[in-house]
Structure 1
Amino acid sequence: MGLASALTTALTGMTAAETQVDVVGNNLANSQTVGFKASTSVFATQFLQTQSLGSSPTPGQGGTNPRQTGLGTRVAEITPDFTQGTIEVSSNSSDLAIQGDGFFIVAGSQGEQLYTRNGQFKTNSNNELVTTTGQRVLGYGVDDQFEIQTTTLTPISIPLGSAAVAQATQNVFMQGVLSPSGDVANTAGVTQSATLGDTAIPRPDLTGVSVNVAATPDASGVTRTTTEGAGTHAEGATYRYRFTYVDDSGNESMASNEVSYTVPVGDGLANNAINLGSLPPAQPGYSQVKIYRTAAGGSNFFELATTTAGGSYTDTNAVPLSANALDNTSINGNYSYLVTYSRLGEEESRPSELLGPQNIVNGRVQLSNLPTPPSPGPGGGFPAYDTVRIYRNLAGDSSRYYLVGEVAPGEDFTDNATDAQISDLSISGNKEIDLDGPKLDSNTLLVNVIKRDGLDYENMFQVGTLDFTARKGGRTLSPKSFEITSTSTVQDLIDFMQEATGIQTALDDPQHPIPGSLNNIPGETTQLSPGITIKDGKIRIVSNNGVNNDVQIDISSFRITTPGGDVVTPNAGFGTIQQPKGQSTVADFVVYDSLGIPLNVRVTAVLESVSDSATTYRWFADASQNSPTSGGEIAVGTGLVTFDGKGSFVNTTNDRVTIQRRNIPSSDPLEFAIDFTSVSGLAQANSSLAAARQDGSSAGTLSSYIIGEDGTIRGVFSSGVTRDLGQLRLARFANPAGLEQKGQNTFSQGVNSGLPVEGNPGDDGTGKIIAGAVELSNTDIGKNLIDLVLATTQYRGNARVITTAQQLLDELLNIRR
């Protein structure tokens, strides 16, 4: 029994030594395995053979100890050592090391959760983060908005080169100096178009109208006889006669040569009548003759009667001579005429084309077949004209036309007014023609807008696409388009132009109304309000105050593309009528919407007021790509910036810029703050302003990533934007030594490990993550070599026990010999 037990006891020692050699060998084999945890063999005695339990002391004996013989050893456990391994910096940014407790969570081949301390990670073809042995690293993923989803563990994805993102601007930081020096911006630039008319108002058509020297009656054929007893003319009295032609409107021609007649002497009674026969014959436009006569023996001619041309007249002396003396004034010069339609209380029509010229020397001019005004029709559109007006130039001034008379429709006209008579505008009823005619108003159709060029009128607009490019403060604004239809009005154009130029009114800042401008326009005194209006048939643009807010319209500002593809450039004749005044400066910069679309923004700052304690500037923001629901408004913000007596920023009444993104898939609106805190209010010759930086960016692709100590994976995009790509999770166990090793540097939950406690790195007792580093094997090579020597010694010693027992058995067997 004794020798046999010695053999088995030695065998258990040899077996234990072999196990220790295996453990030490595994430790040494994995001394270069990242994240490896070395194991330690723990031995325990196996069974005991009890020969005596001993005895307790008695009065006669001191007691004996138990007598037990051990029956060998066994391996109680092979325990992994989870002490921290050395952290070594790696050249791979995706390598991770855990500083402290915890395990990376990875997915096994069957989808089960495994745990590892080996942080040598890389990405596979699906952009997933995996271990060197191909297991997917688990953590929290992100949604399409790069928001971390903390619901379930999923494989971590890092889509280098494929994911794209943009950063909408939230803040723009300004720098510069807004100086209190210079002129306060209290005067706006004003530009104004030529006078524009409305072609819907009819223009007299002079087809068939003639202008000629008025005919002068010839009295040489007039017969004179006497009828005694038929009148009251005295015998022997001498009378002289002259004749004029009279047109339908009562205008007369020059007078004829005079003829005289002496009443013959007969019965001596004043009872005679004078018969005038073969009166001057009718002429075109003249069907009547007016007779002028002197008193008996007189020399002054007075109106006597009007009768049919070519007929006869009996002067009985019963008709007293009229107070109307013969006016035989003549006109001399080279004259042209213009014709208009009118009606009492209504605006006069446009003037006709030029009629003439007609040269006249000591005569009068006859206008025949004057036009008849058209009917306005059931839809109206212009007044029911009932009068035709005639205007004439002066002999010494062919550019100005004055009213010479007016007739009913269908009547002719004879002109005998001298230049002095018609050009004296102090005389009631005298007036100079308005060559521009009726002016446009806000309801005028755009296709009816006309501009005068001399006495010609050209249509300014037509159906098509109007491209409008203005200038502001000397800088060209982005083009804006407006569709002109047959129903578009002047007000539509005005609204469009005001939106396209970014002129802001008091309504744009009701809490701190935008001020108006001084009015230095000759003949005007009323304060000017910013905006676009109609003034006496002219489109007037009043800019916001300050030099850099001055809106200019060039010859090429309007460009119309017709449906047929033709391109026309109407020139509305805009010109500056008031120069702007005021210290101002401009800053141009780019911001980005949620899609990464770059948007150009211009901020203009003007010196609004200076007091003994503060300097106040007003800023205006324009964005050409502002996209409201309708229209093309480019003004996107305004506010006041105040500086104290030391030039330090005090406050701003508004710092928000709002750019509409309607009809565009970007987030609407794009709203960002303008930060003026770094702008100074110190004095210098000129103000300056610039955008130092802004926090938006264009669209960019994922180019790299970084992993923080808390396990957050941040992607860095080519545009400079960073976004969360995921969150690594760690697991810790109450008894990590109870984990079951699965090979390939992984562990699984064991029956004695406890449940995994998940958390972000650094939370709930888990360690932190160090990126770009690995945790080396914690194998202690020196200690393991010593353990190997001890195991060898143990094995050899137990082998000697077996040898000794075998020798004793051999001696026992040899006794029978």
Structure 2
Amino acid sequence: MGLTTAMYTGMTGLNVNQTRIETIGHNIANVNTTAFKGSRTMFQTQLARTLTMGTRPSATSGGTNPTQIGLGAAVGSTQRTTGQGSVETTGLPADLALEGAGYFIVRAPNGRPYYTRDGAFGLNAENELTTSGGLRVQGYGVDGNFTLIPGTLTDLTIPLGQNIIARATERVALDGALSAGETVATAGNLTVSQGLVDGGGNQATAATALTDVRALDRPAVPLFVNGTRITVSGAAKGERELSARTFTVGTDGNTLGDFATWLQDTLGIQTGPDLAGDPGVLVQNGTLLIRSNTGEPNAIQISGNDITSDNGVVPLPFSFTETAPAQGTGVFTAFTVYDSLGAPVTVNATFTLEQAAGTGPVWRYYLENAAPGSARRALGSGTVAFNTNGQFVSATGNQFALDRTGTGAASPLNFTLDLERLTGLATQSSNVVLGEQDGYPPGVLAAYSIARDGLITGTFSNGLTRTLGQVALAVFRNDQGLVAEAENLFSVGPNSGPAQVTTAGVLGAGSIRAGALELSNVDLTREFIGLITSSTAFQAASRVISTSSEMLDQLMLALR
């Protein structure tokens, strides 16, 4: 009976060591599997056969220990070793390695969540971040303003080449020098048209209807009818030509005064009580009188050929003569801003020296909307003051609203002009350029990166960067209790505890390394040693069986 038991005991040794070799084989087979976690087989004793329970010490005896014969070994458990594997750099932006206790969360097509350490991700045809098996990586998305939406897991999407964004300009900073050696601007140039009369031969006034305006030398023929289109093209300010604009009689105005007001805006002449030289376009003594803003950069050049109409009958009699030149020097510059759709808009800026006071020079600047067809050319005017050392002191009037009606963009485009970088020293000449502005034209998502906290940042072709999402992680109270599935996946097990969803750097989840993969944590040296010891134990257990068999054979011979 005892020999038979010994054979069965030896058989348990065969079984447990066979299981251990299976575990070792599984480990070795996955030595190059991404983020694989090796396992070990744990043995435990089987029930023992008790011959005596032992006795307590007494006056006549020191006591005896139990007499038991073991019945072999059994597999107690297989334990997953969750230690960190080495990290290999790949350079691929979608490859993610975890350094810590966290797990990536992925979603199967049926909606079931799985967990993995394998961060060999990629983008599918819909630009979704997926595993090699097509499961979608989970994380936190963003709203239309690229603001992260925490708390709700979603499929992470990185729309390379598709997502297009722009940014409206909010701030413009100019660099350069406004030379204190410039001449103070005291007057604009004065330009006067030839005489105009009404149907009665009287000098035309601002109230004269455009349909009643006639040339002084042809008083019987009206120049315009309702619907006549009057175009100003070729006029210049300073050394730059102004974009063409068209006035429609009866739509844009009805009187000569209406046309004068429109012409004033077309020429970008800015008016106001704080502006010197009484600038503007007036109807005076039967003529159109054009007085520019002060300084040579603001001087208006216009001729009779620059104003035409589509009446097809009577050529316009406008002929302009400059009766007084502009006084004072300055500098002109232009820069580009962007509206909410990313459309570029050119803004002209003119600077003229307004005062050379004992407290430091004061400059006057004028801004114009240079976009063709703009409803209003003049944007506004302000001053910039320097101290006696040429250092910036203050600026006024530097908030501007640029009309974008009819473009589909948000209107107006509001921006601030930052002039703090300008200097007022007596340099050889004045020079002002665009330093920076914070608007951008449309751009497509060109690249992305994933930070150690899992935050996904997209870089657009226009230079903008925006948050695209954040990779979520899960941690478990007992990750050895997870149930291993195929394709390097795990699911929640009875003893793992529920998944605690978090992000990198929280709850011990660890950090994420982009452009890298975690390697298998299998130690081949240890596995080979395990093979040797398991093989030896297997041979020894089989020897127990063979020896017991030989002894039974001898017993049978003795009984004969």
Q: Same fold (TM over 0.5)?
A: yes
Aligned pair 1:553/2:263, yes or no?
A: no
Contact 2:303–2:318 (CA<8 Å) still a contact in 1? Answer: no
Distance, in Å, in 2 between the alignment partners of 1:760 and 1:593 is 37
Question: What corresponds to 1:747 in structure 2?
Answer: 490
Q: Secondary structure at the match of 2:532?
A: helix
Q: Check 1:92–1:196 CA distance in 2 against 1; reply closer, same or farther (3 A cut).
A: same
Measured against aligned partners, the alpha-carbon deviations of 1:27-71 in whole angstroms (never above 9, x if no partner) come to 111111112112222222232222223223223322222222222
Contact 1:197–1:439 (CA<8 Å) still a contact in 2? Answer: yes
Question: What corresponds to 1:477 in structure 2?
Answer: 242
Measured against aligned partners, the alpha-carbon deviations of 1:15-36 in whole angstroms (never above 9, x if no partner) come to 2212221222111111111121
Distance, in Å, in 2 between the alignment partners of 1:11 and 1:466 is 110
Q: Which moved more, 1:130-139 or 1:649-658?
A: 649-658
What root-mean-square deviation, in Å, do the aligned CA atoms of Structure 1 and Structure 2 show? 2.3
Measured against aligned partners, the alpha-carbon deviations of 1:424-456 in whole angstroms (never above 9, x if no partner) come to xxxxxxxxxxxxxx2111121223222234x77
Cα offset, 1:176, TM superposition: 0.7
Residue identity in the other structure for 1:477: L
Measured against aligned partners, the alpha-carbon deviations of 1:133-168 in whole angstroms (never above 9, x if no partner) come to 111111122344433333522211222222221122
Question: What corresponds to 2:190 in structure 1?
Answer: 190
Residue identity in the other structure for 1:490: L
Question: What corresponds to 2:212 in structure 1?
Answer: 448
Q: Check 1:125–1:445 CA distance in 2 against 1; reply closer, same or farther (3 A cut).
A: same
Q: Secondary structure at the match of 2:180?
A: coil
Distance, in Å, in 1 between the alignment partners of 2:170 and 2:506 is 32
Q: Check 1:670–1:10 CA distance in 2 against 1; reply closer, same or farther (3 A cut).
A: farther
Measured against aligned partners, the alpha-carbon deviations of 1:184-238 in whole angstroms (never above 9, x if no partner) come to 222222222222211x21xxxxxxxxxxxxxxxxxxxxxxxxxxxxxxxxxxxxx
Q: Check 1:4–1:726 CA distance in 2 against 1; reply closer, same or farther (3 A cut).
A: same
Distance, in Å, in 1 between the alignment partners of 2:492 and 2:310 is 77
Distance, in Å, in 2 between the alignment partners of 1:703 and 1:600 is 27
Aligned pair 1:537/2:302, yes or no?
A: no
Cα offset, 1:697, TM superposition: 1.8
Q: Secondary structure at the match of 1:134?
A: coil
Distance, in Å, in 1 between the alignment partners of 2:345 and 2:383 is 23
Distance, in Å, in 2 between the alignment partners of 1:559 and 1:2 is 125
Q: Secondary structure at the match of 2:150?
A: coil
Cα offset, 1:600, TM superposition: 0.8
For residue 641 of structure 1, the aligned residue among 354, 374, 384 is 384
Residue identity in the other structure for 2:171: N
Residue identity in the other structure for 2:73: T
Question: What corresponds to 2:440 in structure 1?
Answer: 697
Cα offset, 1:691, TM superposition: 0.4
Larger radius of gyration: 1
Aligned residues: 557
Distance, in Å, in 1 between the alignment partners of 2:52 and 2:386 is 104
Unaligned 5+ segments in structure 1 are 202-349, 351-437, 507-512, 518-528
Q: Which moved more, 1:38-47 or 1:21-30?
A: 38-47
Question: What corresponds to 1:625 in structure 2?
Answer: 371
Distance, in Å, in 2 between the alignment partners of 1:64 and 1:141 is 72
Distance, in Å, in 2 between the alignment partners of 1:84 and 1:122 is 23
Residue identity in the other structure for 1:445: A
Question: What corresponds to 1:514 in structure 2?
Answer: 274
Give the percent of matched residue pairs that are identical in Structure 1 and Structure 2.
36
Question: What corresponds to 2:27 in structure 1?
Answer: 27
Question: Which residues of 2 match residues 162-177 of structure 1 at below 5 A?
Answer: 162-177=162-177
Distance, in Å, in 1 between the alignment partners of 2:378 and 2:371 is 10
Aligned pair 1:11/2:11, yes or no?
A: yes
Q: Check 1:762–1:561 CA distance in 2 against 1; reply closer, same or farther (3 A cut).
A: farther
Contact 2:244–2:372 (CA<8 Å) still a contact in 1? Answer: no
Question: Which residues of 2 match residues 94-105 of structure 1 at below 5 A?
Answer: 94-105=94-105
Cα offset, 1:107, TM superposition: 0.7
Distance, in Å, in 2 between the alignment partners of 1:622 and 1:78 is 78
Measured against aligned partners, the alpha-carbon deviations of 1:773-799 in whole angstroms (never above 9, x if no partner) come to 111111111111212222222212211
Question: What corresponds to 1:282 in structure 2?
Answer: none
Aligned pair 1:585/2:334, yes or no?
A: no
Contact 1:608–1:617 (CA<8 Å) still a contact in 2? Answer: yes
Residue identity in the other structure for 1:112: R
Aligned pair 1:111/2:128, yes or no?
A: no
Distance, in Å, in 1 between the alignment partners of 2:313 and 2:471 is 63
Aligned pair 1:495/2:232, yes or no?
A: no
Please give the TM-score of this superposition, normalised by the length of structure 2.
0.93
Measured against aligned partners, the alpha-carbon deviations of 1:335-386 in whole angstroms (never above 9, x if no partner) come to xxxxxxxxxxxxxxx3xxxxxxxxxxxxxxxxxxxxxxxxxxxxxxxxxxxx
Distance, in Å, in 1 between the alignment partners of 2:155 and 2:274 is 58
Contact 2:243–2:372 (CA<8 Å) still a contact in 1? Answer: no
Unaligned 5+ segments in structure 2 are none
Distance, in Å, in 2 between the alignment partners of 1:91 and 1:743 is 27
Question: Which residues of 2 match residues 35-74 of structure 1 at below 5 A?
Answer: 35-74=35-74
Question: What corresponds to 1:756 in structure 2?
Answer: 499
Q: Check 1:701–1:505 CA distance in 2 against 1; reply closer, same or farther (3 A cut).
A: same
Question: Which residues of 2 match residues 84-483 of structure 1 at below 5 A?
Answer: 84-198=84-198, 200-201=199-200, 350=201, 438-453=202-217, 459-462=222-225, 463-469=227-233, 470-483=235-248
Distance, in Å, in 2 between the alignment partners of 1:691 and 1:146 is 29
Measured against aligned partners, the alpha-carbon deviations of 1:508-533 in whole angstroms (never above 9, x if no partner) come to xxxxx53222xxxxxxxxxxx12222
Q: Secondary structure at the match of 1:150?
A: strand
Question: What corresponds to 1:808 in structure 2?
Answer: 551
Aligned pair 1:611/2:357, yes or no?
A: yes
Q: Check 1:180–1:173 CA distance in 2 against 1; reply closer, same or farther (3 A cut).
A: same
Question: What corresponds to 1:224 in structure 2?
Answer: none
For residue 524 of structure 2, the aligned residue among 775, 781, 784 is 781
Question: What corresponds to 2:454 in structure 1?
Answer: 711
Q: Check 1:775–1:16 CA distance in 2 against 1; reply closer, same or farther (3 A cut).
A: same
Cα offset, 1:595, TM superposition: 0.8
Contact 1:162–1:702 (CA<8 Å) still a contact in 2? Answer: yes
Cα offset, 1:731, TM superposition: 1.2
Cα offset, 1:460, TM superposition: 4.2
Residue identity in the other structure for 1:713: I
Distance, in Å, in 2 between the alignment partners of 1:601 and 1:583 is 20
Cα offset, 1:627, TM superposition: 8.4
Q: Secondary structure at the match of 1:141?
A: strand
Contact 2:197–2:219 (CA<8 Å) still a contact in 1? Answer: no
Distance, in Å, in 1 between the alignment partners of 2:58 and 2:551 is 39
Q: Check 1:492–1:687 CA distance in 2 against 1; reply closer, same or farther (3 A cut).
A: same
Question: Which residues of 2 match residues 667-682 of structure 1 at below 5 A?
Answer: 667-682=410-425
Q: Which moved more, 1:776-785 or 1:574-583?
A: 574-583
Distance, in Å, in 2 between the alignment partners of 1:25 and 1:567 is 101
